[in-house]
Copies of this chain bind each other. A is one copy, B any other.
Amino acid sequence: MEKNLTSLSDFIDQEIGVKGTKKRAKFDEGFEAFKLGVLIQQARQERGLTQEQVADLSGTNKSYISKLEKDLKDVRFSTLQRIITEGLGGHLEISIKF
């Protein structure tokens, strides 16, 4: 597990470039963005809600929730929070790691 993760890191380092390069930064960014959509989708499904329910609860709309989960649209930070607090009934934890 730990081994695999390390291998993946090495693989990415070699294939995409090491941390610090432009290309790698772009990759990491896309990787995180990808995670955001999945994160929202998983949280929603765990709570047994439909995209429409989340949309209504958070005062957005269902086609937008869909696009968010599929990473087809960007989000304002405040909107992301509203979706998570009001739509999913959770709260967003953020931190910066080095």
The chain A residues found within 8 Å of chain B, CB to CB, are 19-20, 25, 28-29, 32-33, 35-36, 39-40, 43, 74-78, 80-82, 84-86, 88-98
Whether the pair A88, B96 counts as a contact (CB closer than 8 A) is yes
What's the nearest-Cβ distance from chain B to residue A35, in Å? 8
Q: Is there contact, CB below 8 Å, between A36 and B96?
A: no
- When the two chains form the complex, which single residue of B19, B85, B90, B96 contacts A92, counting CB atoms closer than 8 Å? B96
Smallest beta-carbon distance A11→chain B, Å? 17
| A90:B94 contact, CB within 8 angstroms | no
State A78–B26 Cα separation when bound (angstroms).
Answer: 11
Contact of A93 among B76, B85, B86, B97 (CB under 8 A): B97
